[in-house]
Amino acid sequence: MSSETNQKEKEKEKEIETEVEEHNSGMAAPAMDSAAVTNLHSVLNRVQQAAERSGRKPDQIRVVAVSKTKPVSLIRQVYDAGHRCFGENYVQEIVEKAPQLPDDIEWHFIGHLQSNKVKLLLSSAPNLAMVETVDDEKIANYLDRGVANIGRKPLKVMVQVNSSGEASKFGVEPLGCVELAKHIKLECPNLEFSGLMTIGMLDYSSTPENFNTMTNCRLEVCKALGIAEENCELSMGMSGDFEQAIEMGSTNVRIGSTIFGPREYPNKQTN
């Protein structure tokens, strides 16, 4: 063997050794990001820019990654990329997913909640951080009693407002939000009133009028409850309109398809 070939083999061996060492010490180059992780980074970037345009810091806006219909493995990838806040619409999905995922996830429930599912929701997801969709006193009372029975810390809730006035939508009418917010604050000691949420239009888009309605609702609620605006969040904005929502004051955007891709409906589900 010539001395040149010998030298090359030695170099190759050294290269392999270094790769093995790096791998063993966890310093190997990270695997390629999944599409969901790439999408998450792009969303966070857009949130940052919209926050700056509205004169706020990006950490003043929470991104709820809506994982409805998405598998645990995909949620895990987004979790591993550092994201901690996820949203689900169906009790059955949270019940199945929450125990399979780390308990430092902050779950937001963003679907229509039926009173007979409250106990199951609270017991299956101790790390449920917020229910964004309280739309009448009955469900507020059920949640309040459920939290007391289970002995967990107070649960943050938002009042869902039907800001577009469409008959088939859930949520209190804008004029009813003060009364429900007052009920939660004064009569539900195990709930923490945290703000107002809207979906906007039936097709999951929103108009500036919907967002303006929410800003006015917040003014009225803060006045009636004697609280500062910072203590009354606005959950508005989804994939199609989150930047505009942020520019109009949203503190909590719920983003599904732009992070996870189109939703998949293998079987019809019920809440």
Ligand X SMILES: Cc1ncc(COP(=O)(O)O)c(C=O)c1O
Q: Which residues bind ligand X (CB under 6 A)?
A: 66, 68, 89, 110, 199, 204, 238-240, 254-258
What's the min distance (Å) between Cβ of 250 and ligand X? Answer: 12
Q: Which residue number, 158 or 190, has a Cβ lying nearer to ligand X?
A: 158
Q: Which residue number, 84 or 182, has a Cβ lying nearer to ligand X?
A: 84
Q: Which residue number, 34 or 69, has a Cβ lying nearer to ligand X?
A: 69
Q: Which residue number, 103 or 173, has a Cβ lying nearer to ligand X?
A: 173
Query: What is the rounded CA–CA span in Å between residue 152 and residue 238?
Result: 30
Q: Which residue number, 174 or 256, has a Cβ lying nearer to ligand X?
A: 256
Query: What is the rounded CA–CA span in Å between residue 49 and residue 100?
Result: 34
* Nearest Cα to Cα of residue 132 among 154, 157, 153, 112: 157
* Nearest Cα to Cα of residue 162 among 142, 133, 129, 139: 133
Query: What is the rounded CA–CA span in Å between residue 78 and residue 34?
Result: 9
What's the min distance (Å) between Cβ of 189 and ligand X? Answer: 27
What's the min distance (Å) between Cβ of 15 and ligand X? Answer: 45
Where b means 16+ CB within 10 Å and e means fewer, 242-259 reads: bbbbbbbbbbbbbbbebb
Q: Which residue number, 94 or 190, has a Cβ lying nearer to ligand X?
A: 94
Q: Which residue type is seen at 23?
A: H
CB-count burial class (<10 Å; 0-12, 13-18, 19+) for 83: buried
What's the min distance (Å) between Cβ of 7 and ligand X? Answer: 58
What's the min distance (Å) between Cβ of 223 and ligand X? Answer: 27
What's the min distance (Å) between Cβ of 184 and ligand X? Answer: 19
Query: What is the rounded CA–CA span in Å between residue 131 and residue 133?
Result: 6
